[in-house]
Amino acid sequence: MSKQAYAFRKDSTPANMNTIIKPEKLNIREHVQINEKFIQNLIADDPSIIGLGDLLLVSKERIQPRAGRLDLLLSDQESGRRYEVEVQLGKTDESHIIRTIEYWDIERKRYPQYDHCAVIIAEDITSRFSNVIGLFNGFIPLIAIQMNAYRFGDQIGLVFTKVLDEIELGLVEEDEVGRDQPLATRDFWVKKCSIETLTIVDKFVGLLKELDPSHNIQYNKTRIAILKGDQVVPFLILRPRKRNHVVLVLRIPKSEKIDAILENSDLDYMDFIPRPPRYRIKLRAEDISHSNNELKQLIAAAFSEHIANL
């Protein structure tokens, strides 16, 4: 489906609709003033223009061992996620895709403490290469953004449009946890993470038992489920990590009540993922004691949100 872009001049009014103009679409690759370096600098000055949130520039033209230079490395300070960004004028091609994935792979191996996502920005992302990129998606976190340039009189505007979003691999729905998930043991998780990480789980379970002594946990191969009696609590998930922290997942729709509790706490709120809807919070050992009341408020509010959305 073709789209047309229009703009209003500053002096436009509803009574004078003759001031509506149709912008001229430009070929960036052939433009004498706009080049790849210009685009890189533009994004570096304001990373938010590409539509991935309030990001910060970590590095530009970042040297990769035996692999050239990464155009841009951006970071989300709240979630700790890093974006390996490659910019190309004209159409995407095989070398561009391979280079983007290679830089992403290098960075994630060098800095495994961060979550990483590859980003391709190109003037023309063809359907053929969207299909090729789509084959990697789910296995490689990858986002494709198309950029277009338009002339408005003597001014030029750039538009960045996300045409391929990151796709997460399908998992068993969180409300199926405990039924179809392969069971595991505490020793399994100690070997996979550490005894320190499992201590955080123990402290969190202790907090839950303060709210209701019938709470317990069930070890699964991919996560730790919360039980109330013999029933799985479908919206509370614990995901232990090797780096001595646990990701608490609240599988509930976004709500002002939950947002307010998180905003007024010292908890390390990672992000909210809309599909399927869930909050992610990074828990460390000290959080269970320092933010005990806030965690209890959060759990109580999550119960209420879950019941309200049944």
68 φ/ψ sector (left φ>0, alpha ψ -120 to 50, else beta): left
What rounded mean pLDDT belongs to the chain?
A: 80
115 pLDDT higher than 90 = no
Q: Which residues pair with 250 in a beta bridge?
A: 236, 279
Q: Are 139 and 110 in contact (CB under 8 A)?
A: no
The pLDDT tens digits of the residues spanning 139-165 come to 788 888 888 888 887 777 888 888 877
**Considering all CA atoms of the chain, what is the largest pairwise distance in Å, rounded to the nearest integer?**
74
166 pLDDT higher than 70 = no
- CATH topology assigned to domain 7-164: Trna Endonuclease; Chain: A, domain 1 (3.40.1350)
Residues with Cβ within 8 Å of 209's Cβ and at least 6 positions away in sequence, in order, are 215
Q: Where are the domains of the chain?
A: 7-164, 174-302
The number of beta carbons lying within 10 Å of the beta carbon of residue 125 is: 21
Of the candidate ranges 61-70, 87-96, 172-181, 278-287, the one whose mean pLDDT is the lowest = 172-181
pLDDT at residue 304, rounded to an integer: 83
171 pLDDT higher than 70 = no
| pTM for this predicted structure | 0.51
Question: Domain 174-302 is of which CATH architecture?
Answer: Alpha-Beta Complex (3.90)
Q: Are 11 and 19 in contact (CB under 8 A)?
A: yes
174 pLDDT higher than 70 = no
